[in-house]
Structure 1
């Protein structure tokens, strides 16, 4: 009854070997998992104990805190009435590899050094050039709008790719470029193109310089770019010079006795658009020590008025600044014959920045004016107080011919 055939015995032995091998494999896999878990637990999280916040004098829309091995960039107001802050980690590859991130806490992880970047507004171009990092720009939506001679050379030699329109960036070309970072802007957070870019693994950080409520606050966003490129000292030095020039021009104008009255804007479809009393344009006029006729109005955007209300108040205005996008007195009159009824028009005291353009027609003011409010203020001071700044030639503003 205990007789077992050799074949049966061999089968039993084989099954034992199989079971033993299976057990060995399972134990080996468990060992690998334990080792992996241990190596993960050894990876430290971001250390937030040593912090050095960046000093900002005017800008309210962003903050930057340096923790030695990484930085946290917070965008507080990328567009009007934004409902949340956007937080980004800026860290180098070495520290990123040995650091654990709570991904849900951040809207993007930016790996430095930034070697390839895409920006989406001409107002971003001057910051790159001022910091001498314009060579990192590889793509832009609407390159014809760029006026800078330096950057136009890079466009002409194909170093910068055309990406279409900002509202519908050519994502295929952008992804082909593989930028380290995209600087975006928007009037709200509903940009599907940016969402597509982020899902591809390319971080998108919003720039809210245009939302700031003073000329120097907008210019201080240079420090935002300085942090991205580890050029904080250089950005701070450049901004301090811009601020110094601005405040000197403001102080110089403060002591003039006569304040010329100022009209601004122009009429389109029976509506006259001009700067509100709390806008940055109105702030520039205040600092130039002139009498802007709508300085008491509330709000930071544009006023929309009837011709009658404008004419009653400004028919005898001394100077007319920024008559919309009209390029000549004739074009201004053709836009509406009523424009010619103002004394400033009759006296040819109309000044515009729209005729100062790059080789492809981009208006330089829209590109550089936000970064260089000192030049804008000097222009206005020179036009409105000709006896001041004797050796200065206006940079943006020219008389309408």
Structure 2
């Protein structure tokens, strides 16, 4: 199937009309937005939901008997149910609204401080985002647990045979991203979880990069915890979700103290509320939660299988075109990957390439992508990362490739 046929079948131009920002110009050029792994853009349907909330039923939730509070509460809890259904959690109260993926990870890390003892082992993969490294380092320092690393290979894939050697009865927790933000690698999380459970360990999956591309089924994966952010899947910033199996959420202590997360309070003793409120202290990002639900509705209507197929076409096309450039080195060539290309050109600094692309209206990410251990593995300071979404086009890839060629010519 040629690129034009695929683009027409997908109706990408119709979809692009939902995203107002794609109409703007940067430095006099039509915007080409290839920084979707950092944050996706927001469709009008989600923007309208945000405007509707603040225009028509802005009120605090769970606490008021008046009409606005009840309406806001209903919309917020309906959004929780949409997240539950999307990720296939058993119960809606297994979905905890957070400020994002990092918040969810820290919530779990804080809770496990009481579960670990000196000499226990926790495993983390070599391709994690800093947000899925630093909290576990802090947890290890606090508890005396030992942090071990699941190694990766030159293709950007985890070495499963080495993981099998690392996991043991001493292993209590394992943390792995579903998809690498730096390389696009899709990790074998179901197999990792299965082996972990055979050895009595719990697993947290960082789904921040997977959620825009893969409809994760937490029951099928048998994940103990799964975290994601709304802003990477067409929603607003400042809101995300933590899925946790009911048994774990009941076992872990609250992450924060405050209003909403209590059942009773006296100066002598406090008892905590039931799930999910136990982990949702204070006034939440009400509008953000509701808009998160609207974003899921939007992407579900397009269809995640449809999105994945189209993005794979974009990835294959861009990879072929970029490899035609002399000196091109792509990092992360796993057999299973999402629409991310991380690359360098021999002799050129990624920052310089990214800066020149921006002058041409092309937005990419440069640097270590908060995955410095990955860059250290490849012995590089960073990469240029182009990350695609379902509203991107083959014509934009052509502009991007020509931009890379032009930047190379200017810098050499």
TM-score by length of 1: 0.33
Greater length-normalized contact order (CA 8 Å, ≥ 6 residues apart): 2
TM-score by length of 2: 0.32
